[in-house]
Structure 1
Amino acid sequence: MPFTHRSLAAREAILVAARARFTEQGFDRTTIRQVASDADIDPSMVMRYYGNKEGLFAAAVDVDLRLPDLAALPHDQVAGSLAKHFVRMWGSDQGGPLSILLRSAVTHDEAAERLRSVFGGQVAAMVRRLLGEGPETETRAGLLATQLLGIALTRYILRLPPVVAMDDDEVVAITTEFIDRILGEPLPPRA
């Protein structure tokens, strides 16, 4: 059944309200009734479009990292390009799907699994394209995710003063160093 203009507008109003509630209250404290009230829509419509709170959450946090094609870049520009991409993305996502997902992943298993899926899938695929298949590729992708998520968590969610005080260029420079090490230097031997 095709969506009408009115149903598309209702869906968008629901998602805007849901993102605001999930950002403010997290997954556990947000209710369908609150979201419906904020969207000025009957709760049954939220259920009709999204099924349940989990379905609504999944739609509200549908995330594409929009990773740049790094394979065409010279090796010495890869880390800087990736660092700039993520700093810009996190900075422009305040209250958006990625911030909601990161904030909710700490306390909600489904959000944590979704975040693992996004970073495990998209970041790991990018690292495989850059480095090829190998025994360390997944480890490097995981370590890269720790840096990218760590910057986001400390700067935009926890708002640690020393990290917040840094300007974007400083964050990019430091993140570039970490990414270079993760992608290019030998990993310590495993026990």
Structure 2
Amino acid sequence: MAFTHRSEETRNAILAAARRRFADDGYERATIRAIAADAGIDPSMVMRYYGSKDGLFAAAVDVALHLPALDDLPREGRGEILVDHFLRLWEGEGADDVLTVLLRSAVTNEAAADRMRTIFATQVGSVLSRSADGPARAALISTQLLGLALCRYILRIPEAVALDTETLVRSLGPTVERYLSDPL
């Protein structure tokens, strides 16, 4: 029992160090040695638990968007609810650096881009799975959500950063709503 607890603590320390290092240095410059040093362990332990830098990255950026089911939402305002939900993932209580790490890394690294594509295709796509054009709708919604995230949290465009959450929800919600319900 103590061994299991210790290995779980080690895994958590590695993941926390990896998230910080990937956020600070990006995927390309982050090294297993630096991550291990940050976690206070030998680099071989990182490899033991995660197998490779790619394996560690995938575990460090394992993201669950927890999107609400569309059937559970009122017909009007679903776009605003989805935008608000997404903003809370980035800014709300309990937000962490995982999405920032993933988006920043996805811009320059194919493994990170693939991870981002998978997350958005499966999680946003699953919300729209009943529709024959669900994948196209999910892609359009992703353009809005990821475009906002890139401009607000990565590029930090001053005008995008300055907008309050309510304005963003009110402004982007109707666009997302069109992607949910209007003919493509």
TM-score scaled by structure 1? 0.90
Among 155, 160, 168, the residue aligned to 1:171 = 168
Give a deviation string over 1:26-78, Cα, whole Å, max 9, x none.
Answer: 11000000001111111111111111111110110111111112212221031
What are the within-5 Å matches in structure 2 for residues 24-173 of structure 1?
A: 24-92=24-92, 96-128=97-129, 132-134=130-132, 136-173=133-170
For 1:3 and 1:152, the matched residues in 2 are separated by 40
Q: Is the 8 A contact 1:36 1:43 kept in 2?
A: yes
Q: Give the aligned CA root-mean-square deviation in angstroms.
A: 1.6
Give a deviation string over 1:145-187, Cα, whole Å, max 9, x none.
Answer: 1001111111011100110000111111112021112112232
Change (3 A) 1:112 1:3: farther
Segments of structure 2 that go 5 or more residues without pairing to the other structure are none
Change (3 A) 1:3 1:119: farther
For 1:140 and 1:8, the matched residues in 2 are separated by 39
Query: Any idea what SS the aligned residue of 1:75 has?
Result: coil
Identity %: 51
Q: Is the 8 A contact 2:22 2:30 kept in 1?
A: yes
For 1:167 and 1:42, the matched residues in 2 are separated by 44
Q: Is the 8 A contact 2:50 2:56 kept in 1?
A: yes
Change (3 A) 1:159 1:20: same
Segments of structure 1 that go 5 or more residues without pairing to the other structure are none
Matched to 1:180, the amino acid is E
Q: Is the 8 A contact 2:102 2:112 kept in 1?
A: yes
TM-score scaled by structure 2? 0.93
Count of residues in Structure 1 that have an aligned counterpart in Structure 2: 182
Query: Any idea what SS the aligned residue of 1:107 has?
Result: coil
Deviation at residue 95 of structure 1 after TM alignment: 5.0
Higher relative contact order (CA 8 A, sep 6+): 2
Deviation at residue 3 of structure 1 after TM alignment: 5.8
Among 176, 182, 186, the residue aligned to 2:183 = 186
Matched to 1:45, the amino acid is M
Matched to 1:53, the amino acid is K
Give a deviation string over 1:97-132, Cα, whole Å, max 9, x none.
Answer: 22111110111111111100000111011012xxx3
2:17 aligned residue = 17
Moved more, 163-172 or 95-104: 95-104
For 2:55 and 2:180, the matched residues in 1 are separated by 36
